[in-house]
Amino acid sequence: MGNEQVKSVKEEKKLCLCMIVKNESRIMERCLNATKSIVDFVSICDTGSTDNTPEIIENWCKENEIPGTVHHEPFKNFGYNRSLAVSLAQKTYPEADYLLILDADMILEVDPNFDKTSLTEDHYLTLQYDVHIKYWLTRLLKASLPWKSVGVTHEYWDIDRSKVGANYNTRVARLETLVVNDPGDGGSKADKFERDERLLLQGINDPETTPDLHIRYLFYLAQTYFHLS
Spatial distance between the Cα atoms of 13 and 3, rounded to a whole number of angstroms = 17
Per-residue confidence (pLDDT) for residue 94, from 0 to 100: 98
Domain ranges (residues) in the chain: 3-181, 192-228
Q: How far apart are the first and last CA of the chain?
A: 63
Phi-psi region of 115 (alpha: psi -120 to 50; beta: other; left: phi over 0): beta
Write the CA distances from 169 to 138, 141, 143, 158, integer angstroms: 16, 14, 16, 10
Spatial distance between the Cα atoms of 156 and 51, rounded to a whole number of angstroms = 29
Spatial distance between the Cα atoms of 19 and 3, rounded to a whole number of angstroms = 36
- DSSP code per residue over 125-158: EEEEE-SS-EEEEEEEEETTS-EEEESSSS-EEE
Asked if 91 and 146 touch (Cβ cutoff 8 Å), the reply is no
Spatial distance between the Cα atoms of 115 and 111, rounded to a whole number of angstroms = 9
Q: How are the residues of the chain apportioned to helix, strand and coil, as percentages rounded to the nearest 5?
A: 35, 25, 40
Asked if 103 and 85 touch (Cβ cutoff 8 Å), the reply is no
Q: Which of 152, 23, 21 is nearest to 76 (CA)?
A: 152
Q: What pLDDT digit, counting tens, does each position of 38-91 carry?
A: 999 999 999 999 999 999 999 999 999 999 999 999 999 999 999 999 999 999
| Strands annotated E in the chain | 15-21, 41-46, 68-72, 98-101, 107-110, 123-129, 134-142, 147-150, 156-159, 172-181
Question: Which residues 6+ apart lie within 8 Å of 198 measured at CB?
Answer: none
Radius of gyration, CA atoms only, the chain: 18
Question: Which residues 6+ apart lie within 8 Å of 20 measured at CB?
Answer: 44, 45, 46, 47, 75, 78, 81, 82, 85, 103
Is 3-181 assigned to CATH 3.40.50.300?
A: no
pLDDT < 50 positions in the chain: 1, 8
Spatial distance between the Cα atoms of 54 and 43, rounded to a whole number of angstroms = 11
* Overall pTM surpassing 0.85 (yes/no): yes
